[in-house]
Structure formats: structure tokens, C-alpha cells
Chain A
Amino acid sequence: AQSVTQLGSHVSVSEGALVLLRCNYSSSVPPYLFWYVQYPNQGLQLLLKYTSAATLVKGINGFEAEFKKSETSFHLTKPSAHMSDAAEYFCAVSGTGANNLFFGTGTRLTVIP
């Protein structure tokens, strides 16, 4: 069975500060891991995905995430927050035996001017 835990339902950062959103996964099979972003009144958009190639994954809008098997983590980072990054972020996992995604509870990012 696969699951993800997102630590922190709300994160606030100042504009220009580092963004760190935490995600830990549990999977009985080698996982595929995803970060999605949801802007108000919109669907989910893929930021990046880990599919067992490079452990450091670069995504859109300057975000990246590092897969750490020893820590079962896939934290999302961005060096410098922009006001446009304010949104809800979801970590998700799927496994080789399951095509669907198991989502975390989401982290709402607020960027303070």
C-alpha cells in the first residue's frame, strides 16, 4: 500500500525566502512520487515527478525535489519564493502495481510581501 504524509498544513514564507514543503512516503513497492500545485478554483497541475531516474528532480517554476530513500522523503524546495507561488501543494505517490495517485492532505503556501 502507498501513502504520503505532508508535514504542515500551512506554511508561510516571505517573498524571496526559501520554500520548503515536506513530504514523506510509505510504499511497499518502488514508488513514483509527484508534486502537484492547485491554484484557487483550478485543477491540479504537475510540478515535478520522480520515476527512479535522477534523485534530484527539477520541475516547473523553479521548484525541485530530492528523493531520499533512506529518509523516505521527497521534500519540495524553491530557493526564492514569489507572490505567484501562493497556492496549495500536494504530494502524491503511485506504485508499479497501481496507476492511481495517493495524495497527501496538502500544504497551503502563503507568501508574505
Chain B
Amino acid sequence: DSGVTQTPKHLITATGQRVTLRCSPRSGDLSVYWYQQSLDQGLQFLIQYYNGEERAKGNILERFSAQQFPDLHSELNLSSLELGDSALYFCASSAQGAANTEAFFGQGTRLTVV
């Protein structure tokens, strides 16, 4: 158990809909990362938050947004969903968000868009 909790584990929704994925980082970790894992794109970095502030942005679509709340949990919002958004979405957390520190991954949320 990494200590990172993601909910829900599975999500099935229709095209055009909006969903919210939730992540609770390890206790004391200030930095949260979101990654998308799909068969065609592999593991791609989406966005990072550190202590409530956006720190880095990767290949995140404009239809996607995220935030980190004062209690440090984070949510990833995916809207106007398309079939191609079906993927495994991982949240990871690290203590300070430094490049040389270990990131602990949750078990992921599997999103299926039908």
C-alpha cells in the first residue's frame, strides 16, 4: 500500500459527459501529480500541484482541469469526454516535489468512455 488513495477505482461514462477523479496523497506529502496511462500514448504526465498551487503542466487537454485543496487532496476534472479519453489515470504524491525524490503512486482510476 503506497498510502495514496484514488477514488473511484472504475468509472464508466458516456461521451460528452464530465467526471471527477479524486486523489488523497500520502500523509504529509505536499506535491500531487496526475498521469494518464493509455495503450497508444503510454504513461503521460498531465499536471502537478504543490501545496495548492499549480507547479508544472504536461500534456493536459484544455477539457481537463485539476486542483489541489487546502487539505492537500486533489481532483482531476475531465469534461466533454471522448472515446479516446478512456485510460488509467494515476495520481502520485511526493513530499516536496523535488526532481530527485520518490513519487508514490495510487492504484489508479480506470475510466471507460462508451
Q: Per DSSP, are chain A's interface residues mostly helix, strand or loop, or mixed?
A: strand
A32 near B99: Cβ-Cβ < 8 Å:
yes
| Distance to closest chain B CB from A101 (angstroms) | 7
Closest chain B CB from A38 CB (angstroms) = 9
A99 contact from B31, B35, B105, B108, Cβ within 8 A: B31
Q: Whole-angstrom distance from the CB of B94 to the nearest CB of chain A?
A: 8
Contact digits for B90-102, partner A, Cβ 8 Å, 1 yes 0 no: 1010100111101
Least Cβ distance of B110 to chain A in Å? 9
A46 & B100 in contact (Cβ 8 Å cutoff): no
Q: How far is the CA of A105 from the CA of B33 in the complex (A)?
A: 19
Q: A96-B99, A99-B97, A99-B99 are in contact. Are A43 and B2 (CB under 8 A)?
A: yes
B99, B104, B108: residue with the most chain A Cβ atoms closer than 10 Å? B99
* B33 near A45: Cβ-Cβ < 8 Å: no
Complex contacts, B72 vs chain A, CB 8 Å: none
Contacts of A96 in B (CB 8 A): 99
The reply to whether the CB of B45 lies closer than 8 angstroms to some CB of chain A is yes
Is B76 among interface residues, defined by CB-CB distance under 8 A?
A: no
Instruction: Report whether A45 and B2 are in contact in the complex, using a CB–CB cutoff of 8 Å.
Output: yes
1/0 contact trace for A11-50 toward B, CB 8 Å? 0000000000000000000001010100001111110010
Closest partner residue, chain A, to B96 (CB atom): A99
Q: Are B42 and A45 in contact (CB under 8 A)?
A: no
Which residues of A (82-110) have their CB < 8 Å from a CB of B? 90, 94-106
Question: In the complex, are the beta carbons of A49 and B43 less than 8 A apart?
Answer: no
Query: Is there an interface contact between B107 and A101, defined as CB atoms closer than 8 Å?
Result: no
Q: Chain B nearest CB: distance from A103 CB in Å? A: 4
A100/B42 in contact, CB under 8 A: no
Contacts of B25 in A (CB 8 A): none
Given A45-B105, A101-B103, A103-B35, 9 other A-B contacts at CB below 8 A?
A32-B99, A43-B4, A44-B105, A45-B2, A52-B100, A99-B50, A99-B56, A101-B33, A103-B42
| The 4 residue pairs across chains A and B that have the minimum distance between CB atoms | A43-B105, A103-B43, A51-B100, A94-B99
